[in-house]
Structure 1
Amino acid sequence: MTSPAPRHAIVLFAHGSRDPLWHKPMEAVAARIRSQSADVEVACAYLELSQPDLPDTVAQLTGAGVGSITIVPMFLGVGRHAREDLPELVTQLRADHPAVHFHLQKAVGEDDRLVQMLASIALDPTEA
């Protein structure tokens, strides 16, 4: 008898802000993912200025039995946070949770689909 595949989660990772309204787009993306895929858990995590941070989010997910986590950097630009800080955090998470599979995606700003979508919005702002 084969064991079931580990539960999977997506963590939307962003910089963070003290302004509670700043979080709304992140929460909207998380809600959209939940509505499109009921079998994937979704959480938001922040580098600074907001809670929860990435280690706390991962601890909560792994404590709930999640064995596979995809981290999606919600950065348009690929600055120091995406190039250095986040990979260092993920290295530490892998050491702290060796039984968990972590997949770190590229920053969303590096995805041609998002670039095309932003260009389309700029060309036709009334579409929304």
Structure 2
Amino acid sequence: MKKSLLLVAHGSRRQASNDEVRALTERVRVEANERYAAIECAFLELAEPSIPDGLEQLIDNGAAQITVLPYFLAAGRHVIEDIPEEVAVAQEKHPDIHIEIAPYLGTSETMPKLLLTMLADSATADAD
């Protein structure tokens, strides 16, 4: 059975920032090429859907296994406390659903390469 994925971002009062996360989620869906049963996004605060609502949406659509991916660069309070607390509440409500939290984005071994690639791409674009 395929897992479902919930990309969790902070959320912003600025709607365009939240829309960027939604657009990224769509690009991840395309790139994943059916690797996941479903891919959605949710926000810790300031935007909808909330983390509980995002989890409920996936569960309502048949998810039995969910990976929560914190779209954060550093291990601040949100990553260490807030997201795990939200997930724990959902897990208690749905003990038959397996919900795991993936390492946050900033821990990725590919982050240095990504940054250097972005800089190289930017320098190439500036040269044009």
TM exceeding 0.5:
yes
Q: Which runs of 5+ in 2 are unaligned?
A: none
Could you say which residue in structure 1 is the equivalent of 2:28? 33
Between 1:113-122 and 1:60-69, the stretch displaced more is 113-122
- What SS class does the counterpart of residue 66 from structure 1 fall into? coil
TM-score of the aligned structures, taking structure 1 as reference length: 0.85
Tell me the C-alpha RMSD between the 2 structures.
1.8
Q: Distance in 1 between matches of 2:20 and 2:114?
A: 16
Deviation string, structure 1 residues 2-56 (Cα, Å, up to 9, x no partner): xxx3x53110101101111102332232112221323531111001100110111
- Structure 1 residue runs of 4 or more that deviate by more than 4 Å after TM superposition: none
Q: Where does residue 55 of structure 1 map in the other structure? A: 52
Match of 2:102 among 105, 109, 115: 105
* Mapping for residues 112-123 of structure 1, pairs under 5 Å: 112-123=109-120
Q: Matched residues in 1 for 2:112 and 2:55: separation?
A: 29
Aligned ranges 1:2-81 → 2 under 5 Å: 5=1, 7-36=2-31, 37-38=33-34, 39-81=36-78
TM-score for both structures, normalised by structure 2: 0.85
Unaligned runs of 5+ in 1: none
